[in-house]
Amino acid sequence: MAPTRRNNEGLLARVNFPLYTVQMLTSHHVLVGGGGGSSKTGVANGFEIFELKYDGSKFVAEEMVRHETGPSVVMNCACYNNDKHTYLVAGQESHCQLYNVNIDVVDKPETESKPSNSEGDSGELRKRQKSRRKDSSSKASDDSKGDNVDKNSNTVRDFKFYIKPSDSIQTDFSKEEPIQRVVRISRNGSLMATGGTDGHVRVWKFPSLKPVLTIEAHTKEIDDLDFSPDSKSVVTISKDGQAVVWCVKSGNRLQILSWSAPNGTKYLYKRCRYGRVEEDKTKSRLFTLSNPVARTGKQTAFLQMWEPDFGEVIKSALVNESLSALAVRDDGRFVAVGTMFTGTVFLYIAFSLQRVMTVNKVHSMFVTGLEFLPVLNNQSTITTLAEAAVISISVDNKICIHSLPYRRTLPPWLVIIFIVFTLFLTFTFCSYMGL
C-alpha cells in the first residue's frame, strides 16, 4: 500500500463559477477557466489569472485579472510563452479564440504588496493595485521567473495582465452539436491541434491559426489529445475506444495503442499526456487513463505508461475508482491523476508508477483539471520545501494545491559504508563457518 501524504496548503482560492481547465500561464501565474454555460443561470463564463507565491510555510494566491466570455463557457484552453509574446487559446463551443496577453510590470513600495483583504476561508485571495507603467510581456515573463523583490531597493515588482481577443476560428463542424473538446499547442510553439465532437483532428499554424492538416481520426468525439515533446506527432483518444498516434506532417497513422483488459471488461481511454524521459530528454513516454465502461462491481481504472513508438504498455497502476484528470510534470519525473467520484488526487513517480502521495477528497466533486508547478534545472520556479507541487480544480469552484515533501533518503556515503560493512560481515561469517 502506497503511503498517504497530506498536503499542508489545500485551498488556494474560490471562484464563483465551475472550473473546467487550468494552465500555467507563466512560471508564477496560473489561469483557470470555466463557467455556467449559455443558459440564464446567473453564473458567469470566463477565466481568471492568479499569481502564486510561497511565504515560507504555504502557498498563497493573488487574483490578477478576471475576463468574462459572455455566453460561451471556457471548457478547454492552452497557453504559450516565448521571448516576445504570451498567448492564450480557449475553446468556446465550436470555435477557438486566440488572446494576446500583455503584462505590465510595476515597481511599488514593498509595504504596498501586503494583503489588503481576503476571500473565502483560504484568506489568501488579494486584489491588485492599478498599474503605473507598461512593459513588454517578455520582460514580465522574465521577471516572474525570479523573486518579485528588487534586491537593490525597497520596491516589489508587481504585474497586471491585459487580455486582448484576437482571431477566432471554427474548429469543429459536427452537424448535431459542434463543440471543441480539446486544444493543445506544440512544445516548440509552431503548431496547434484541436479536436471535438466531429472526431476530426485539425492542425493549425500557430499563432497565425492558418489550417495545415485535417485528420479524420475517429468515428466519435475526441476526448483528449497531446503533442509529443519533439512536436512531430500527436496522440488522440476518443469515445470510439481508440487511442492513436498520428504524424502531424503527413497525417498518417503511426501507432494504435492496444492492450488486453482483464476479465474481458470493456475500457475507454479518458486522458492522454506525453512526458519526457527524465534520464534521457531525447526520448518520451506516453501516459493514459482508462476507465471501465460498466459502473457496477469492483472494477478498477488504470494509469498506463506506453512506449509510443511501438504502442506497447510498459507499466500499469490500478486505481479503485474511475479517473478524470491527468498531468505530467514538464521534466517527466512525476504524474498526477484525479478521480471522478471522490475528488481525490494521487501523485506517482513517472518511471515506476509508484504512488507517493494521496490527497483524499480534496474536492467535493470530480477533478476537472491538474497542472504541475514548472521546474527549472530540477528546482521549482517557486522556492518551496517540496519536491513537487500540483494544482487541482473542480466544478466545486475550488482551486487547490498539493505539495509532496522531500522524501527521506540516505546520503550516498552512508549507503556505501553500509554495503562495505555488510560485505565484511558476510565474509567474516563465511570464514568462521569454513565456507
Tens of pLDDT along the chain (435 residues) come to: 343 334 335 899 999 999 999 999 998 999 999 998 876 677 899 999 999 998 888 899 999 999 999 999 999 999 999 878 999 999 999 999 999 999 887 766 655 544 433 343 333 333 444 434 344 444 455 544 445 555 455 566 677 889 999 999 999 999 999 999 999 999 999 999 999 999 999 999 999 999 999 999 999 999 999 999 999 999 999 999 999 999 999 999 999 999 998 888 899 999 999 998 876 767 899 999 999 997 665 679 999 999 998 899 999 999 999 999 999 999 999 999 999 999 999 999 999 999 999 999 999 999 999 999 998 766 666 767 789 999 999 999 999 999 998 865 555 666 688 788 888 788 787 777 776
Q: Which residues contact residue 378 at a Cβ distance below 8 angstroms, ignoring those fewer than 6 apart?
A: 331
Query: 198: part of which helix (H) or strand (E)?
Result: none
DSSP SS3 for 65: strand
Within 10 Å of residue 392's Cβ, how many Cβ atoms? Answer: 27
Backbone angles phi, psi at 174, to 5 degrees: -60, 140
Within 10 Å of residue 260's Cβ, how many Cβ atoms? Answer: 6
Domain locations in the chain?
Answer: 10-432
One CATH from 2.60.40.10, 3.40.50.2300, 3.40.50.10300, 2.130.10.10 for 10-432: 2.130.10.10
Instruction: Compute the distance between CA of residue 290 and CA of residue 295 in angstroms, rounded to an integer.
Output: 13
Assign 3-state DSSP to the chain and report helix, strand, coil percentages, each to 5. 10, 50, 40
The residue written with cell numbers 502531424 in the block is 248
Residue type, 132: R
Instruction: Compute the distance between CA of residue 147 and CA of residue 156 in angstroms, rounded to an integer.
Output: 9
The per-residue b/e assignment along 46-72, b for 16 or more CB within 10 angstroms, e otherwise, is bbbbbbbbbeeebbbbbbbbebebeeb
Four-point Cα dihedral 392, 27, 350, 333, nearest 10: -150
pTM: 0.83
Strand runs labelled E in 141-210: 155-170, 180-185, 191-196, 201-205
Instruction: Compute the distance between CA of residue 14 and CA of residue 18 in angstroms, rounded to an integer.
Output: 10
Four-point Cα dihedral 105, 110, 111, 115, nearest 10: 50
Residues 110 and 72: beta-carbon distance below 8 Å: no
